[in-house]
Amino acid sequence: MNLDKLRINGARLQQSLEKMAQIGATPGGGVQRLALSDEDKKARDLFVHWLKEIDCEVTIDQMGNIFGRRAGKNRNLAPVMSGSHIDSQPKGGRFDGILGVMSALEVLRTLHENNVETQRDIVIVDWTNEEGSRFAPAMVSSGVWVGKLDLEWAYARQDINGKKQGEELARIGYKGELPAKSFPIHAYYECHIEQGPQLEKKGKVIGAPKGVLCLHWYDIRLKGTANQVGPTPMAGRNDCLLAAAEMIQVVNKVAHIKGDMVATVGELHNHPNSRNIIPDGVHFTVDIRSWEDEHAIDAWEMMKLEFEAIANRHGTPIDMEITWRVKRAPFDEELVYNVLEASEKLGYSSLRMVSGAGHDASYINQIAPAAMIFIPSKGGRSHVEVEESSWEDCSKGANVLLQCILKSAMQA
């Protein structure tokens, strides 16, 4: 059989995605399937059922990661892996994460019904709690799996009701015995919605990110002098919220001036947050992302200087902390090439790009060759109920995934 001609079943992929979208469906047309919730359990059970239908060997590890393995001819060779996550944001969309799991499943169903034998095993994976919205941080289970995060620490993470991640894993029956520890991987592919506007804007179908942007987090704390707003004249106030407002403008301005980066203040706490008291404490965050680590650090140095000048002018002492710096993660060049080549052979337009968001592939990339396949997000929107991608694009993404998996899994 000519495997280049093999195609996935788009209608079946759509059905699988629609079935999954019913689990935790929200009135606004999205899904709410928080990690380790009853909805997550229900979706996992269905996924496991579907894996068994096509004779996959199913294993669950200590972090609840679900692996479905399809045997190849030479079981001693490192397998090809593909997958993503089943959990969602609160009031999230129907495509984020689940597309990568369902498209990998569709690939295996296609191989199964065509009796295709590959050299290597193929493993589908659902990574537990990629979103990090119920239990922080995000991508926790792929992080534990590659040895970057500690298992006991991950178990102890709590949600807002004080429930521990480890206990919730056990409660839904997905605290497995298998050590959450990586095994050799020949190639890892993750199909995902773009979650940004580039593909749609440029009229392209498949995105091949060369890697994930660096991610730098900062925490800024300002002290002011609280006072009754009525009797206190404007001159001589130490209003730290006012100082923060100027700093937020600086973050935006610097990102524009320097270009090739994004910088955002997404969190702000004001104390005592009362309409008739001059604020005496502000805490806000800065998130800077760029393909060049140095570029992002230069931007921070520029912001820092301006922050200090603003704090001085307002008489509001400032404390600046580097909270987290993750270097950019370039994907494997050969695998990225495979994505572009498969798109071309299938007649789909493609775009070389970067990923602004982190994914499980970022962690797997640290221990094995990895690449991602992006498809367009309508209006560039994600982590919202209106998140949308066309069924046609989902099929195209899955067809690229099929060809990439075949290419890597046929390598002796």
> Which range of residues in 89-97, 154-162, 183-191, 295-303 is near Zn ion by CB under 5 A?
89-97
Does 96 help bind Zn ion (rule: CB under 5 A)?
yes
Minimum CB distance to Zn ion smaller for 96 or for 121: 96
Cα torsion angle, 109, 112, 117, 123, sign: positive
Q: How far is the CB of 131 from Zn ion (least distance, A)?
A: 7
Minimum CB distance to Zn ion smaller for 97 or for 166: 97
- Pure H helices in 54-195: 98-113, 140-145, 151-156, 165-171
Q: How far is the CB of 332 from Zn ion (least distance, A)?
A: 20
Angle, helices 333-346/391-409, rounded to nearest 10 degrees: 120
> Which range of residues in 92-100, 159-167, 230-238, 294-302 is near Zn ion by CB under 5 A?
92-100
Minimum CB distance to Zn ion smaller for 97 or for 397: 97
Cα 178-47-205 angle, rounded to 5 deg: 110
Minimum CB distance to Zn ion smaller for 107 or for 138: 138
Residue nearest to Zn ion (CB): 97
CA distance 239 to 222: 9
CA distance 278 to 241: 8
Q: How far is the CB of 359 from Zn ion (least distance, A)?
A: 6
Does 166 help bind Zn ion (rule: CB under 5 A)?
no
Cα torsion angle, 254, 255, 261, 265, sign: positive
Q: How far is the CB of 97 from Zn ion (least distance, A)?
A: 4
Helix, strand, or coil (residue 143): helix
> Which range of residues in 90-98, 142-150, 303-311, 394-402 is near Zn ion by CB under 5 A?
90-98
Q: How far is the CB of 85 from Zn ion (least distance, A)?
A: 6
> CB-hemisphere CA count at 13 Å for 74?
11
Q: How far is the CB of 192 from Zn ion (least distance, A)?
A: 6
> Which range of residues in 94-102, 121-129, 173-181, 209-217 is near Zn ion by CB under 5 A?
94-102
CA end-to-end span of the chain, whole Å? 19
Q: How far is the CB of 99 from Zn ion (least distance, A)?
A: 9
Within 10 angstroms of residue 74's Cβ, the number of other Cβ atoms is: 11
Q: How far is the CB of 133 from Zn ion (least distance, A)?
A: 11
Site string for Zn ion, 250-269 (x = CB under 5 A): --------------------
Residue with tokens 């965050």: 285
Question: Footprint of Zn ion on residues 177-206 (CB under 5 A)?
Answer: none
Q: Please enumerate in sequence order all residues whose Cβ is within 8 A of that of 70, keeping only pairs 6 or more positions apart, or say none.
A: 54, 55, 56, 57, 108, 111, 112, 118, 121, 122, 123, 124
Site string for Zn ion, 37-76 (x = CB under 5 A): ----------------------------------------
> In the structure, how many helices (H) and strands (E) does the chain have?
12, 14
Q: How far is the CB of 91 from Zn ion (least distance, A)?
A: 15
Does 126 help bind Zn ion (rule: CB under 5 A)?
no
Within 10 angstroms of residue 42's Cβ, the number of other Cβ atoms is: 17
Pick one of 72, 79, 93, 97: the residue that binds Zn ion (CB under 5 A): 97
Residue closest to 266 by CA, chosen among 244, 286, 243, 242: 286
> Which range of residues in 14-22, 96-104, 199-207, 317-325 is near Zn ion by CB under 5 A?
96-104
Helix, strand, or coil (residue 68): strand
- 261 neighbors 299 (Cβ within 8 angstroms): yes
> Which range of residues in 46-54, 91-99, 176-184, 263-271 is near Zn ion by CB under 5 A?
91-99
> Which range of residues in 97-105, 144-152, 239-247, 252-260 is near Zn ion by CB under 5 A?
97-105
Tokens, residue 284: 């806000």
Return phi, psi of residue 25, to 5°.
Answer: -60, 140
Minimum CB distance to Zn ion smaller for 98 or for 402: 98
Q: Which residues bind Zn ion (CB under 5 A)?
A: 96-97
